[in-house]
């Protein structure tokens, strides 16, 4: 079995066959998550290279494996995490001892906010995200300013591209803080209220970081490239001005931006201090459609074949591990081994069973295993308690060298 780091590109069947053999030798039952250590190292190094020296903040929702997150943070070029709920942020700041935890989303859970504020360690390490005075009101309602130490907050600056006074909107619908004046006004409001410390800014250019530019035909890809280029040109100018305006009121510690798909261009923004990345570590198949980088398929999941309804159709147990976003075929997991399998169009990937058809199905028996790649994010970790770490460089061939818990395996369900 080849241990060439590029085997996942040069010989995919050998790559997935090696992972399957290692997992079977370890007698791990399906559904099983496997993380190839060499492929993960490739992705870690490539993300750091693409960021051009700007530190990468690990987006935890795209991993949801605490030991892997902690391991990445020990590397040069990586600093802090972008969390997705207050409870998760609290846990990472304490159980994982991560000193810099930025919330990527606002929170209105009074109980979670109150628990965070009551914990001196967590409160000093976690930065909450706000985009309006309403969020400040929720925090004050949870614990009045007179009864707490200052809470660290960051402003969510909208990074979308808008035309025709907002009628045309390219990007995600997140923060209402779009203009420089809106950013300045919110900064003034935050610093004018007791009990808050404004320490950062976050903005996510989803229309660049999360949209494939080499997957939809030459003309559409060209159009996407033009829009993305114009969007970043507009955003960088606006973000620089907005950050400058916010700094009139606060000495910012962080300006976070970008994502896996935008590292190169986001790193050219002089106002940015760190760039978020998450999906690129495990290399979901959504990123096969990008022209400027190609992550290795480090993560895969194996399911067992449990029946054969027709000569060229087999049925796997489970499989509906669907990614977030607009429901479409590209949100589905992708069968990769054995090669030549595809979903049955009338059923696709099901929560409990997934029919697969193709020539390869004729050679599969009940009890055999098939392997899939997830689309983009942390969806596999929500369906399994453990991840098998596979070392393809081990003496004697690929083998499982460790089994580590996912968030779910640690009893955590944050969202």
Q: What is the pLDDT of residue 105?
A: 95
DSSP, collapsed to helix, strand or coil, labels residue 81 as strand
% of the chain residues with pLDDT over 90 = 78
Q: Is the pLDDT of residue 265 over 50?
A: yes
Q: Across all residues in the chain, what is the average pLDDT?
A: 91
Q: What is the pLDDT of residue 402?
A: 98
Over residues 138-162, the mean pLDDT reads: 94
| Residue 389 contacts residue 404 (beta carbons within 8 Å) | yes
Q: Is the pLDDT of residue 38 over 70?
A: yes
Q: Is the pLDDT of residue 226 over 90?
A: no
Q: What is the pLDDT of residue 223?
A: 54
Residue 304's nearest CA partner among 24, 37, 26, 65 is: 24
State pTM to two decimals.
Answer: 0.92
Q: Is the pLDDT of residue 217 over 70?
A: no
| Residue 254 phi, psi (nearest 5) | -150, 145
User: What pLDDT digit, counting tens, does each position of 48-77 carry?
Assistant: 999 999 999 999 999 999 999 999 999 999
Q: Is the pLDDT of residue 354 over 60?
A: yes
% of the chain residues with pLDDT over 70 = 91
Q: Is the pLDDT of residue 225 over 70?
A: no
| Residue 16 contacts residue 7 (beta carbons within 8 Å) | no
**HSE of 126, CA atoms in CB hemisphere, 13 A:** 34
Q: What is the pLDDT of residue 292?
A: 76
Residues facing residue 329 across a β-bridge: none
Over residues 170-182, the mean pLDDT reads: 88
Q: What is the pLDDT of residue 2?
A: 44
Q: What is the pLDDT of residue 205?
A: 82
What lies within 8 Å, CB to CB, of 324 at 6+ separation is: 331, 376, 377, 379
Over residues 25-38, the mean pLDDT reads: 97
User: What pLDDT digit, counting tens, does each position of 402-413 carry?
Assistant: 999 999 999 999
Q: How many other C-beta atoms can be found within 10 angstroms of the C-beta atom of residue 291?
A: 12
User: What pLDDT digit, counting tens, does each position of 378-411 carry?
Assistant: 899 999 999 999 999 888 899 999 999 999 999 9
Measured in residues, the chain has a length of 415
Q: What is the pLDDT of residue 407?
A: 98
Domains in the chain with CATH codes: 7-37+293-410 (2.40.37.20), 38-282 (3.20.20.10)
Alpha carbon of residue 41 to chain centroid: 17
Q: What is the pLDDT of residue 229?
A: 65
Q: What is the pLDDT of residue 161?
A: 80
User: What pLDDT digit, counting tens, does each position of 270-310 carry?
Assistant: 999 999 999 999 999 988 867 678 899 999 999 999 999 99
Over residues 244-256, the mean pLDDT reads: 97
Q: What is the pLDDT of residue 1?
A: 38
Over residues 7-16, the mean pLDDT reads: 93
Q: Which of 88-102, 315-329, 374-388 tops mean pLDDT?
A: 88-102
| Residue 28 contacts residue 403 (beta carbons within 8 Å) | yes
| Per-residue tokens: 256 | 């976070």
């Amino acid at each position: 079995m080849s241990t060439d780091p590029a085997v996942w590109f040069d010989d995919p069947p050998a790559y997935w066959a090696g992972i399957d053999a290692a997992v079977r030798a370890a007698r791990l039952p399906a559904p099983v998550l496997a993380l190839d250590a060499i492929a993960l190292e490739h992705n870690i190094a490539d993300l750091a290279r693409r960021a051009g020296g700007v530190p990468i903040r690990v987006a935890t929702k795209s991993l949801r494996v605490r030991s892997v997150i902690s391991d990445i943070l020990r590397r040069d070029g990586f600093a802090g995490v972008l969390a997705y709920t207050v409870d998760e942020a609290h846990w990472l700041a304490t159980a994982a001892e991560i000193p810099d935890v930025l919330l990527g989303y606002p929170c209105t859970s009074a109980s979670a906010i109150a628990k965070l504020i009551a914990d001196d360690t967590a409160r000093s390490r976690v930065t909450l995200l706000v985009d309006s005075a309403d969020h400040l009101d929720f925090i004050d309602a949870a614990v009045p300013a007179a009864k707490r130490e200052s809470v660290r907050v960051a402003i969510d600056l909208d990074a979308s591209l808008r035309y025709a006074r907002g009628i045309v909107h390219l990007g995600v619908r997140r923060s209402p803080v779009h203009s420089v004046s809106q950013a300045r006004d919110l900064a003034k409001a935050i610093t004018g209220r007791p009990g808050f410390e404004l320490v950062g800014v976050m903005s996510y250019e989803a229309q660049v970081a999360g949209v494939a530019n080499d997957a939809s035909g030459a003309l559409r890809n060209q159009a996407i490239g033009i829009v993305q280029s114009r969007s970043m040109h507009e955003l960088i100018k606006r973000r620089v001005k907005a950050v400058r305006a916010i700094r009139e009121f606060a000495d910012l510690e962080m300006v976070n931006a970008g994502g896996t798909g935008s590292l190169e261009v986001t790193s050219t923004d002089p106002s940015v201090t760190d760039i978020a990345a998450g999906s690129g570590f495990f290399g979901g198949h959504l990123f096969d459609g990008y022209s400027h980088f190609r992550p290795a398929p480090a993560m895969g999941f194996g399911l067992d074949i449990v029946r054969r309804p027709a000569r060229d159709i087999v049925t796997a147990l489970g499989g509906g591990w669907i990614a977030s976003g607009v429901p479409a075929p590209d949100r589905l997991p992708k069968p990769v081994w054995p090669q030549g399998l595809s979903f049955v169009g009338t059923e696709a990937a099901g929560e409990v069973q997934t029919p697969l058809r193709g020539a390869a199905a004729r050679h599969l028996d009940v009890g055999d295993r098939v392997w899939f790649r997830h689309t983009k994010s942390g969806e596999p970790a929500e369906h399994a308690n453990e991840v098998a770490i596979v070392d393809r460089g081990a003496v004697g061939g690929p083998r499982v060298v460790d089994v580590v818990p996912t968030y779910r395996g640690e009893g955590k369900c944050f969202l």
